[in-house]
Amino acid sequence: MILGIGTDLANIERVGRTLDRFGDRFRNRVFTETEQRKAERRRDAAGTYAKRWAAKEACSKALGTGLSMGISWKDMAVTNLETGQPRMAVTGWAAERLKSMTPDGCEAVIHVTLTDDHPWAQAFVVIEARPLA
């Protein structure tokens, strides 16, 4: 069963300008250390940050809240499997919200996909309730 769907489109150049203007203050407010390490290793750091920004926005929409009701940017974090496939982990209030919207006898699975085509970065998040085995 689908519990939530969210999508977001971010402008890579705008994120780049924000990084130039606010630097670590912006990075540390929005991105986890793992997300920052990944982005800073990439040639297109702004594009990597923009995709993760879009993923966090999309996840908050799939949770049915947007970035309100107490969700922190860092309550949602994008990591990657060894294959490169992105994964979304939630903590704090986002995890509480996810738990509250998951029916009894089910586990929540967050699916996330990221893409970019300069100057745009896009993310799509689907939250699924999967019956426990």
The residue with greater pLDDT, 9 or 72, is 9
Residue 69 has pLDDT above 80, yes or no: no
pLDDT grade for 133, boundaries at 50, 70 and 90: confident
Determine the Cα–Cα distance for residues 65 and 55; give it in Å rounded to an integer: 14
Q: Which residues pair with 74 in a beta bridge?
A: none
- Length, in residues, of the chain: 133
Residue 36 has pLDDT above 70, yes or no: yes
Closest CA to 120 of 45, 13, 40, 44: 13
- Does CATH number 3.30.1330.60 belong to domain 2-131? no
pLDDT grade for 68, boundaries at 50, 70 and 90: low
**Domain residue limits, the chain:** 2-131
pLDDT tens digit sequence for 75-126: 999 999 999 999 999 999 999 999 999 999 999 999 999 999 999 999 999 9
